[in-house]
Structure 1
Amino acid sequence: MKTLKPGEMKTLVVGLGLLLAVVVANAQDGFEVTGRVVDASGGGPLAGAQIVAAGGTGTVADRNGAFRVRVSSDDPHVTISFLGYLTQTLTVSEGQTDLGTISMEISPTSLNEIIVSATSQNYRSDFKGSNFTISPRDISNTNPLNTEEVLKTVPGVNIVGDMGLSNRPNISIRGSWGRRSRKILLLEDGSPAAPAPYIAPGTYYNPLSDRVQAIEVYKGADMLRYGPNNMYGAVNYITALPPQAPELRVKLVGGSRNYATGLFSYGGTWQNLGALVEAVHKKFDGFTDNAEVEVLNLNAKIFAKLSEDQSLYFKVSAQFEDNQATLSALTPFTFRVDPKQQPFDAEYFDMRRYGMDIIHKWLISPTMSLTSKVYASDFERDWWRQVTTVIRAADVQAYVGDKIFNERYSYLSGLTFGDEDYVRVGRITDGRESTTDSQWVFTVSGIQETFEADWQGGGKTHHFEGAIKLHQESYRDRYLAANNSRWARTGNPTSDNKYHLWSVSGHVRNEFNINRINVTPILRFEHIEMYRQNVLAAAQDPDTMSPDAGKLHSSYNVVMPGLTVGYEISGGEVYGSVYQGFIAPSKIFGFFVERNGVLTDPLEGENVNIKPELSLNLELGWQGSVLDGRVSGQAALFSTTVRNFIAAGENELFMQPGRVHIRGFEVGLAAMLTSSASPHSLRLSLNATMLTSEVLEGVLQDKDMFSTVVHNSATRQEFIDRVNSNRQAYELYIRNDRG
C-alpha cells in the first residue's frame, strides 16, 4: 500500500473539495417536483401524460397519473400535455415541490368519437340515459383474449360465443336477438363496423381486442344520435390513439392449442401531430379438430391539431382472416363421445376488410363547432362449407365407405349405438362429397355533418346538436355449388342477388339545463330506399330487355322522437327516458309484402310495403356514487314493447307481424376496497341483469323446428309439454284423419 506524501495529500483534499462544490452547486441548480394529472370532468388519471420541464427534462405520468420530474432553478416551468386535452404550463418553486392534483380540460377541438374521457365512473355523463363504459384501465387490467370477454361484464349485455377469437360475436342487449349481433348497432370509433348496417347488419367483422382502448355501450333515448338499429342498444369500440411520448411496443402472448398473439406498434406525438401504426397477428387451433383460425390486422392513424380552431383525424385499416370454420360438426351424441371431433376438414372461411375514416372539426366560434366525417369500408368473404346430412351412428361406415370412415370417423369404432344416436356426415352423391360457397361482397360509404352550439338562457348554458348523414351500401350475395369434390374452390352459381341501399338521416337534440334538472328532447328521421335484383334469373331470361330487369324496390320513412329527463342528486343523477326505436328491414324480411296481415313474397309488379320493426322504449335509472365515492355505478329498470315484430331468430319469422314486450332490471356497481392514500387499489365489481319477455300477438313460423333439426324422444316430449302448457299459443295441424 502506497503512503501519500504531504504535498500529494494536499492536492487530493483540494480536488475533493472542488468536486464537492460542483456537486453542491449542481444540486442547488434544480429541484424535483411531483404531482398527479387527472381529467377535469371525470377525475380519472391521465396515464401517459407528458410532463416536460424547461430545459428538456421530461417524464410521463404512470397508470395512476402520478409523476416526478426535475426542474431547473433558473427556469422553473413545467409543461403538461396529453393528446386531445388543453396543454398547461405551470410555474413552480422550491417551496412548492408537490403540485397536487392537476386537472386537464378536454380541448374544444377534440373529437367525441375517439377521445375517451378519463373517469373513475363506469358511464359517460354527457350521454343522457343508460350507458356503460369499459375504461382503458379496465381493459389493461383484464388483458382480454377477445372483446366478448369484457362485454360480458356489462349489465344488460348477453354473449353467446361460437368462435374462439370473437371474430363474429353474438351480442344481445336488453333481450335482443343475439345471433351475429343483428339487432344492435356496432360502431368502431363512431363509424359503422358491420359489413352493411341496414341490409346485412350481422357482425362478420369485429376489431381485435389488442387494438381496442375502451368500449362504450349505449342504451336509452340518446341512442337516436348514432344510427339505425337503435331499438336495443349500441356498442362503440374506441381504438388506441397515438401515445404522448414516442413509443415502440411489442407484445407476444402464447397459450394452449397453439394460441399466439403478436403486436407491433410505433407511435408518438410531435408538437401538434400524433401518429400510430399497428400490426396484430393472432393464431389459434380452435376448440375442436380442424378449427384453425389466423387473423392479421394492420392499421395506421394520424391526429393533428391544424390550428387553434381546427383538428383532423385520419385512419386506415385492413383485416384478413383465414378460418377453418364450421357450425355443423357436432350432434348431441358426438358431443358426448368426443366434443373435439370435427370431421369437415375442407371447410374454409376467407375474409378481408378495408376501412377508412376522416374526421375534421372546426370551431366556428368559442361556442359553435362543425364536425365533418367521411367513412368507407370494403368487405369480402368466401365461406366454403361441405354439404352435410344427419344419419344414424350405426349406419355411418356403410354410408361414407371404409376410406372416409377410417380417415375421419374412426373414433366411432367399437362403440355401441342407440336408435337415437346420430352423426353429421358429408353427403355422398355418386360416391363423392360436395361443397358450396356463400360469397359476400359489400361496399359502404357515408358522409356526416354535425353542428353543435352552446347557448345561454335563464342564466344557464344549454347545448344544441344537429346532424345530417348520407349513407350508401351495396351487397352482392352469391351462392356456388361444386359437386365433384369437397375440396373444390369454384363452382356453378345457384343464386346471385344484388342489393343496394341509400339513406338520408339526421337528428336534432337540445340539452336544457334548469337548476338541477336537465331535459333533453331528441328527434331522429330516416328515409331509406333500397332494391334487390336476382341477376342470375335476369341473365337466364332471354326476354330480358334492361339491366334493371327484375329489380324489386322498397322505400320507407321513420320518425323517432325521444326525451330524457335527469335530476342531479348528491353524488349522481336519477333519470328517465322514453323514445321510439326501429330495426331496419334487412335482406331477411325487407322485400316481403303484407297481404291481409300476412307476410308473403310479392307478385310480379306488386309494390313492397313492408314496415320496419318499431318499439316504445322506457327506462328509469340512477347513476353516480355513494359512501363518499367508495361505491359507484348505475342501475336501471327498462321496458321495450316492439310492434310489427318480424325477425325473431335464425329461420324464425313472424309471418303475421307480432307484438313483444321485454322488461327487466340491470345494475353495475364497483366498490373500492382500498383507501385513496394506498399505493395499491383493489376493486370489487358486480354486474347483474334480470329480464322477462312475452309474445303478445303474432304468428311465428320456425323453419328449422321440423326440417333441419332431428328430434329424439326427449326433445319431442319437451316440445309437447310446452304446447300443452300454453295451448292457445300454438296452431297445430294433423297429417291425416288419424291425427
Structure 2
Amino acid sequence: MRTNPQRAAYAAIKLAITSYAIFHPGLGQAQQDEPSKTLEEVTVSADWLGSPTPKTAKKHPGARTVITNQEISESGSRTVEDVLRTVPGVRVLDESGVGYLPNIGVRGLNPLRSEQVLILVDGIPIPLAPYGQTGLSLFPLTINSIETVDVARGGVAVHYGPNNVGGVINFVTKPIPHQTSMTFKETLSVFSGGNLLADTYFRAGGFVNDKLGFQLQANVIGGNTAREHSKTEVNNLMLDSHWLVTDRSEVKAGIQYYKTSNQLPGALTPKSYEQNRNQSTRPLDHFNGDTLRGNLTYNYFFDNGAEFSWINFGHRSNREFIFGNSTNADIASTQEQSSPRNFIVYGSEPRFTFNIDGSIKQKISVGARYMREEVDYLVDARNLMTGAYTISRNWRF
C-alpha cells in the first residue's frame, strides 16, 4: 500500500504523462511510421602482432606497448634494462649492473632468467635453447642496435610457441637505410673512485643499388663500474643484408658474433655494505659467454594479399658462470664451482598467410616449425686448497 507522499508522487507522474500525450498526440504514431535504420558495417580485424608501430599497437586487441627509437633516445636509457623499466607490467632485475644480463618478468611472474617471457630479435627467438633450456642466461643484444621495442602481454603469446605465459618482447634492430650513411657514438660513464666504462658504437650501411643493401653494426663496451671486481667486456658485431629479388619477393640475411667476459661483484651483507658499499667480497665470481648466430628469411607477396614466409635460423653458443661456494659473502670460499653450457640450435619455420573474403573476412595462417637443440650441461667444482676436481653433473640433451 502506498503512503500519502508516494500517492502524491504517483499522481504527479501520471498527470505529466497524460499531459504529454495530450499535447503530442501523434508522437507514438510518428515513431511507428519512421523507417527502420541500418547500422553501418563494423569490421573487426586482428593480425597477431603486425608491424611494431604505436599506431598498430592502438589497434591490438590486448595489452601492448611499442617503444620507438625516438622514445628510447629521449628517455636517456643506457641499457636494455632501462628501456624495459618504462613498460607497464614489466619488471627487470639488474644482475650485472651494466645491463648485459637482464632478468625480465611480466605481470608479476618470476623474472629469474626471463623464463616466463619469450624474447625475440626481429621475430627470431634468442634463448639459448627455446624449448629445452628456456632460461636466458646469455643476452646477445645491446641497446645501440635497437630501433624499436615491441612488448605484447597476454594471449597473443601462444602464437609464438610455449614457455611464454607472460608475453612476447620483440626487439627490432635498426633497418638498413636507403641512403648510404655512417654513425659513430661514444658514451663514457665515470664512477666514484675514478672507474670508467666506455660504450663505443659504429654503424655503416645502405643500398648499393635499387635491389641490394648491406649494414654493419659494431658495439664494444669495456671498463669498470663503481663496484670493485666489476671489469666488463662486451663485443657485439652484426652484419645484415636485404635483397629485393623481384617486386614481390625478398631475401633477408644476417650474421652476428657476440662475446662477453665479466667479473661479478656480488651481493654484500649489511655489515660489509656499511663498511664500503662499493667493495666486493666475492673475488671468484665471473661470467663468460659467446655466440655465433645466423638467419635467412625468404618472403613472397601475392597479388591477392597472401604471403609466404620461410624463416631459418641457428646458433652455436657457450656460456659459463663461475662462483665461490661460500653462502656468506664475508667468508672466503674454499671451492670454486662452475656451470658451463654448450648449445647448438637450428630451426626452420615456413608459414603461409591468406585472406578469405566473404560476409565475414578472415585471415588464416598455416605453418610449421622444426627445431633441433643440442645442449651439453656440466656442473663441476675445484677445491682451492687441494686442487681436487669433481663433476656432479654431466648431461647431454
Q: Within the alignment, does 1:426 sit opposite 2:332 as a pair? A: yes
Q: CA deviation at 1:491?
A: 4.3
Is this contact kept in 1: 2:90–2:106, CA < 8 A? yes
* 1:138 aligned onto 2:71: yes
Q: 2:160 is matched with which residue?
A: 226
Superposed counterparts of 1:668-707, under 5 Å? none
Classify the secondary structure of the residue corresponding to 2:62: coil
> Which residue is equivalent to 1:174?
107
Question: 1:278 offset after TM fit, Å?
Answer: 0.9
Q: Deviations over 1:563-619 (max 9, x none)?
A: xxxxxxxxxxxxxxxxxxxxxxxxxxxxxxxxxxxxxxxxxxxxxxxxxxxxxxxxx
How far residue 367 of structure 1 moved from its aligned partner, in angstroms, is: 2.2
CA distance 1:300–1:485, change in 2 (3 Å): farther
Other-structure match for 2:21: none
Give the secondary structure class of the aligned counterpart of 1:140. helix
Determine the structure 2 residue equivalent to 1:190: 123
The question of whether the paired residues in 2 share the 8 Å contact of 1:122 and 1:135 is answered with no
Structure 2 CA distance for aligned equivalents of residues 117 and 219 of structure 1: 14
Partners of 1:448 and 1:389 lie apart in 2 by 45
Out of 465, 476, 491, which is 2:376 matched to?
A: 476
**Mapped contact 2:118–2:169 kept (Cα < 8 A):** yes
| Maintained 8 Å contact 2:265/2:283 | no
Secondary structure at 1:316 match in 2: strand
Counterpart position of 1:243: 177
1:498 aligned onto 2:396: yes
Deviation of 1:338 after TM superposition, in Å, equals: 1.6
Change (3 A) 1:217 1:118: closer
Distance in 2 of aligned mates of 1:469 and 1:389? 43
Where 2:227 maps in the other structure, the secondary structure is coil
Aligned CA distance change for structure 1 residues 348 and 360 (closer, same or farther; 3 Å): same
Matches of 2:225 and 2:136 in 1, distance apart? 20
Question: How much has 1:467 moved relative to structure 2?
Answer: 2.1
Spell out, residue by residue over 1:610-651, the C-alpha distance to the aligned partner (whole angstroms, 9 max, x if none): xxxxxxxxxxxxxxxxxxxxxxxxxxxxxxxxxxxxxxxxxx
Alignment size in residue pairs:
344
Where is the strand percentage greater, Structure 1 or Structure 2?
1
Secondary structure of the residue that 1:275 maps to in structure 2?
strand
* Structure 2 match to 1:273: 212
2-structure distance, mates of 1:168, 1:389: 22
Structure 1 portions without partners, runs of 5+: 1-111, 391-422, 428-432, 500-739
Instruction: Report the Cα distance in structure 2 between the residues aligned to 1:373 and 1:352, rounded to whole angstroms.
Output: 23
Q: Give secondary structure in 2 for the equivalent of 1:424.
A: coil
Would you say 1:346 and 2:270 are equivalent positions? no
Question: What do the CA deviations read for 1:197-248 (whole angstroms, capped 9, x no partner)?
Answer: 2222122222110101111111222222212123121111111111121011
* Residue pair 1:211, 1:240 contacting (<8 A) in 2 also: yes
1:372 to 310, 321, 339: 310
What residue identity is the alignment partner of 1:426? A
Is 1:438 equivalent to 2:336 in the alignment? Answer: no
Q: Normalized against structure 1, the TM-score is what? A: 0.44
Closer/same/farther in 2, CA of residues 325 and 305 from structure 1, 3 Å limit? same
Deviation at 1:326, TM superposition (A): 4.8
Show structure 1 runs of 4+ deviating over 4 A: 115-119
CA contact (8 A) 2:119 2:125 kept: yes
Amino acid in the other structure paired with 1:360: Y
CA distance in 2, matches of 1:309, 1:122: 23
Quote the Cα distance in structure 1 between the aligned partners of 2:52 and 2:172: 12
Of residues 343, 350, 357, the one that matches 2:295 is 357
User: Where does residue 245 of structure 2 map in the other structure?
Assistant: 306
- Report the alpha carbon displacement of residue 365 of structure 1 after superposing the two structures with TM: 3.7
- Correspondent of 1:289 among 222, 228, 232: 228
- Answering whether residue 124 of structure 2 is matched by residue 215 of structure 1, we say no
Distance 2:338 2:66 in 1: 39
Name the amino acid aligned to 2:336.
Answer: T
Q: 1:381 to 1:214 in 2, by over 3 A?
A: same
Query: How far 1:484 moved relative to its partner?
Result: 3.5
Q: Residue 323 of structure 1 corresponds to which residue in structure 2? A: 262
Aligned in 2, Cα 1:238/1:482: closer, same or farther, shift over 3 Å?
same
Q: Summarize deviations over 1:328-353 as a string: whole Å, max 9, x none.
A: x4112212222212133333321101
Deviations 1:424-478 (A, max 9, x none): 2223xxxxx43122111112211111111122112x6432222211112121111
Q: What secondary structure sits across from 1:280 in the alignment?
A: strand
Distance 1:280 1:330, change over 3 A: same
SS at match of 2:81: helix
Q: Secondary structure at the match of 1:345?
A: coil
Distance 1:484 1:380, change over 3 A: same
Deviations 1:132-168 (A, max 9, x none): 1111221232342111111111111112222222222
Partner of 2:367: 467
